[in-house]
Amino acid sequence: MGNALIVFDPTTGPPIAQRVQAQFEGRLLRGYQEGLQQGFDVTAEVAPSLLAFLRNDLGCTCLVDLTAVDYAKYPEAQPARFGVIYILLCPETGARVKVRAFVADSAPRLATAVPLFAGADWAEREVFDFFGIVFEGHPNLKRILLPDGYRDHPLRKGYPLRGKGERADFEVYRAFTG
Amino acid sequence: MYSYDTEVSELAENVVSVNVGPSHPAMHGTLRVKLQLAGEKVLACEQEIGFLHTGFEKLGEHHSFNQFITVTDRMNYLSPLNNNIGYALAVEELLGIEVPRRGQVIRTILAEMSRIADHIFCVGLMTMDLGAFSSVLWTMIEREKLYDIFEATTGTRLTTSYTRVGGLAFDLPEGFEARTRQIMDTCEQTLGQLRDSFVNNKIFLDRTQGVGVITKDQALSFGLSGPVARASGVPLDQRAYRPYLVYPELDFSVPLHEEGDCLARYLIRIDELEQSIAMVRQALKLLEPGPINHESAKRILPSKDLVYRDMESLIHHFKVVMPGQDHGIHPPKAELYSSTEAPNGELGFFLVSDGSHSAYRMRVRSPSFYNYQLLSHILPGHMVSDLVAILGSMNVIAGELDR
């Protein structure tokens, strides 16, 4: 109690963009600045090494969030259908970095981030549950919010708001409806 | 399929598998914890979530930006105002607009009052989980008073839906300032009672000290945020390091504890309550007359009074509400992650806009989701009764977990 106000200036942190660009010369799809947040687009193959570099060398030790976007119906063309988004935080400087890893449509696969960030465990399960993206090497990749026997991935574009009738598979529902 | 017949089963000699929840008097919401017990001792633990799953993120892709505000109420039902404000700030950042000064001050005051309502009830519930009962009634009385103010301001007690994109639904009611000052005084007294009754209480200390310890490294690696992380020595509070609204003008400190146990999580909430009370008092002094909504009439819902009386406002209301490319709020094609400090920690909204009247992808980063997954790592080795203490100190909200 009574500690001084902790204020960071994200611009005084380590020059993340320059270091990443020097290290990943030619392997980044794009680098950009969104407000105070730096962003890098990469392919699924480059993502694990970029995440490891950000964590081990640039101090981004905290995974704030991990999610995915299905760009199937997005009006602007993207490098691949799925984008897996990592929001990282550097606790020393307060700097934030966004990494967007593009994953192809056919059998989407990506290496897991659990060895780097323990918090990726449930977040990757959630992405697997809702988008059907498989995280290779994940210790326990199974559905997290939907029932195990669910047949589809509801946050993919094209999945209807009212569902596809999966409810009829549930034992409890059948017991009530006969 | 889950069956209650298999709720208790003997696995090996002296090892019993027990389910706590999803409907259990000691559970905070629809959570289920599968325990492997040797006597009273927990050998392993697995949490199962999803019993409440309501598909809020999918709804976000079909609701317009203003419609989704009613959905944000239901994520954390102890502090809906913080969710309203966090979401409205994210959409405003996407649109590139800022609420006028009075709107910002009102949002700050209500965000802090909502934090007080959440924290005070959380500490009350935690003491109740550990055997004390009067304390939860003290805190409930305070929460009821705060809810009275929310009702006078927003029209409802629980599902407030108070913000609009670019402003607020209504201005403050008459007598708001005097009544708020009065409630802050009584909250402070209750805080004193909570401190006096529990900080030196042997039973309470035995049940919380050294129980459910989360180290600083664990907190960072699991992406913990809010009071749970700050009780483990992570000095991060977005009100301080990424200030929004009028927080830069307020004088406050970030409470920090190093122990990372249940007691530290209890104490940090008490400390934060004191800070929040001080912040509300300071912010009340910043209240000045002025507009509460952004001036852009084509993007902001006009006030209901005007819609009933004024043709121009009726047209604007129609244009903002109706879907379609020619009407409503159309942010530019962009992606954005915006976060605020909700009572439980970092509440983030990741919005992808394709230029239409609703989000292309709506992701909610809820603090409970990241906080709760640590349970299976810290619970083994503890007693069954410690599960209740640890859960109470983490303040896991099922609505926020399942979204």
- Output phi, psi for A165, to 5 deg: 85, 20
Instruction: Give A112's Cβ-side CA count (13 Å radius).
Output: 21
Q: Which of A145, A148, A152 is nearest to A166 (CA)?
A: A152
Neighbours of B95 (CB within 10 A): 21
User: B243 pLDDT exceeds 50?
Assistant: yes
Lowest mean pLDDT among A158-162, A172-176, B80-84: A172-176
B247 touches chain A (CB under 8 A): no
Res B2: pLDDT: 47
pTM reported for the whole predicted model? 0.93
Cα B256 to Cα B265: distance, rounded to the nearest angstrom: 10
Q: Which of B38, B32, B2 is nearest to B17 (CA)?
A: B38
B272 touches chain A (CB under 8 A): no
Lowest mean pLDDT among A1-10, A63-72, B135-144, B269-278: A1-10
Tokens representing B223? 């992406």
Contact A3 B235 (CB under 8 A): yes
User: B141 pLDDT exceeds 80?
Assistant: yes
This complex has an ipTM of: 0.90
A24 touches chain B (CB under 8 A): no
Contact B236 A121 (CB under 8 A): no
Range 296-335 of B in CB contact (< 8 A) with A: 333, 335
A–B interface: beta-carbon pairs under 8 A: 126
Contact B346 A64 (CB under 8 A): yes
Cα A111 to Cα A133: distance, rounded to the nearest angstrom: 10
Q: Specify the higher pLDDT residue, B14 or B281.
A: B281
Q: For chain B, percent helix, then strand, then coil, each to nearest 5?
A: 50, 15, 40
Res B328: pLDDT: 75
Range 100-159 of A in CB contact (< 8 A) with B: 117-119, 121-123, 130, 143-147, 154-155, 159
Res A154: pLDDT: 93
Summarised one tens digit per residue, pLDDT across range B250-264 is: 999 999 999 999 999
Contact B241 A6 (CB under 8 A): yes
Inter-helix orientation angle B176-198/B101-129, to 10°: 30
Residue B242 sits at the vertex; the CA angle it makes with B240 and B289, to the nearest 5 degrees, is: 80
Mean pLDDT, rounded, of chain B: 90
Q: Which of A86-100, A119-133, B21-35, B310-324 has the highest mean pLDDT?
A: A119-133
Which chain A residues are within 8 Å of B348, Cβ to Cβ?
64-65, 87
User: B318 pLDDT exceeds 50?
Assistant: yes
Tokens representing B280? 């509300």
Cα B90 to Cα B334: distance, rounded to the nearest angstrom: 12
Res B299: pLDDT: 83
User: A2 pLDDT exceeds 80?
Assistant: no
Cα B85 to Cα B110: distance, rounded to the nearest angstrom: 9
Which chain A residues are within 8 Å of B241, Cβ to Cβ?
6-8, 94
User: B12 pLDDT exceeds 70?
Assistant: no
Summarised one tens digit per residue, pLDDT across range B119-129 is: 999 999 999 98
Res A148: pLDDT: 84
Res B6: pLDDT: 52
Q: Which of A106, A56, A114, A107 is nearest to A86 (CA)?
A: A114
For chain B, percent of residues with pLDDT exceeding 90: 68
For chain B, percent of residues with pLDDT exceeding 70: 97
B49 touches chain A (CB under 8 A): yes
- Residue A173 binned pLDDT confidence (cut-offs 50, 70, 90): confident
Res A161: pLDDT: 87
Res A4: pLDDT: 43
Tokens representing B75? 């994520």
B352 touches chain A (CB under 8 A): yes
Residue among A35, A122, A146 minimizing CB distance to B53: A146
Res B271: pLDDT: 94
Q: Specify the higher pLDDT residue, B135 or B23.
A: B135
Summarised one tens digit per residue, pLDDT across range B167-197 is: 999 899 999 999 999 999 999 999 999 988 8
What value does the mean pLDDT take over residues A49-65? 93
